[in-house]
Amino acid sequence: MPPRKRSRKKAKTVQSEAHDEEEEVLRSLPAGPVNTTGFPALPAELLLGIIPHIPCLPVPALPKDLEKTYADRAKLLRGLSQMCRSLRRAFLPVVWERIETLQRNASAKSLATELIRQLEIVTVRDPVLAAYVKIVNVKLTYYSCDTVMEEFARCLALFRNLETIQILYTSGYCPNIVDTQAAFKDRQFPLVRTVVIPGYAAAILQSCPGAQSVTWTSQMQVDSTIAWCPNIRRFSGYAHYPSPGRPVEWVNWHLVDEKHENRPMTRRVVLQSTSYQGRSMYGIQRNIECFKAIPRLSCMTIEFPGEQEADIPPLIQLLVDAAQKVLQQQPWLDGQHAKCACLEYKDGTRKIPVVKGV
């Protein structure tokens, strides 16, 4: 008897699994001919080229962005996906790429009901659709907060391709912080890379240890962000939600990894000096001191919208002094003899060394 040949079956890749799920959705459609002429017959690349021209809510969304309406996007894509099997294959994944509750002037009950409706579709009625969800743009409210929050947290764990969570600020509708903390306790979403949240939703960020871009739309927490998200690369946030008659306190910085020969990789943080205008001396110093929690920090660059020949304003000097203090307190790596605080002008860069032992 000849020896049995080795099976040619290979482990399914993520791409093949996604294809199988797509085929399962298509099989659920009523039987009928496939449209092979006209618009539906265009290659998928051309059909998907339409998507960037349909307005969608940006990430992160600023207050001015919320004044626009984006409800037509979902209706248009859903209509295209229901025209025929050919278009459904192209547009169905795009329809459910986003879970969004963007209704303007809607009540707390309406927002909560719409959120639960969409979550039920992709997790209960047709769980195959959960694989398409990549972005969640929602407004959370106080309506049935404990129940809605628990269901919301449960469903997020089912979206294995989820990349972005954006919780939109809802003035007067804010949910209970305790309910939010209880729902997301012991939850982890390691694949999420972008998080936009107001202060009351801090528990959601704590469940996203792999976040690399974090934006606070109110009550920003710099120190907590650094502690919860060790891989963070970009941070921005408001001290409070912008409103008429209140000065805007906006912070924006990002991290840059720097590789050196024969030395461990170090990191540089880049600050926008305009973010700190109008803030108290204590507030500035406290904010800069949070960077002590960033490992391997060796340089802090402060962007200054001026020229090198100009005198350094008191605010910039305060930022430089605080940066030097933080760098001096950072552990020194093997082979590292100096760090620096940099002032980046319009026409060049000035380096201020921080020498070891000084």
pLDDT digits (tens, 9 = 90+) for 247-257: 555 677 788 77
What is the predicted pLDDT for the residue at 159? 94
Q: Residue 26: is its pLDDT beyond 60?
A: no
CATH 3.80.10 assigned to domain 99-242? The reply is yes
What is the predicted pLDDT for the residue at 226? 84
Contact predicate 354/340, CB 8 Å = yes
Q: Residue 154: is its pLDDT beyond 90?
A: yes
pLDDT category of residue 188 using cuts at 50, 70 and 90: very high
- Rounded-to-5 percentages of helix, strand, coil across the chain: 40, 20, 40
- Identity at 78, one-letter amino acid code: R
pLDDT > 90: what percent of the chain?
Answer: 21
Q: In this predicted model, what pLDDT tens digit does every residue of 91-108 receive, in sequence order? A: 888 889 999 888 777 888
Q: In this predicted model, what pLDDT tens digit does every residue of 163-174 receive, in sequence order? A: 999 998 776 677
Q: Is 236 helix (H, G, I), strand (E, B) or coil?
A: strand
Q: Residue 15: is its pLDDT beyond 60?
A: no
Tokens linked to 148: 């809605």
Contact predicate 268/258, CB 8 Å = yes
What is the predicted pLDDT for the residue at 314? 81
| Sheet of 234-238, strand order | 98-100, 135-139, 164-168, 194-197, 213-216, 234-238, 250-260, 263-272, 297-303, 338-345, 348-355
Task: Quote the Cα angle for 256-257-261, to 5°.
Answer: 140
pLDDT category of residue 261 using cuts at 50, 70 and 90: low
Q: In this predicted model, what pLDDT tens digit does every residue of 96-151 receive, in sequence order? A: 999 988 877 788 899 999 999 999 999 999 899 999 999 999 988 888 888 999 99
235, β-bridge pairs: 214, 253
Answer with the residue of higher pLDDT: 38 or 207. Answer: 207
Q: How many other CB atoms are there within 10 angstroms of residue 5's CB atom?
A: 6
What is the predicted pLDDT for the residue at 259? 67
**Strands annotated E in 279-334:** 297-303
List the chain domain ranges: 99-242, 249-358
Helix (H) or strand (E) holding 27: helix 14-27
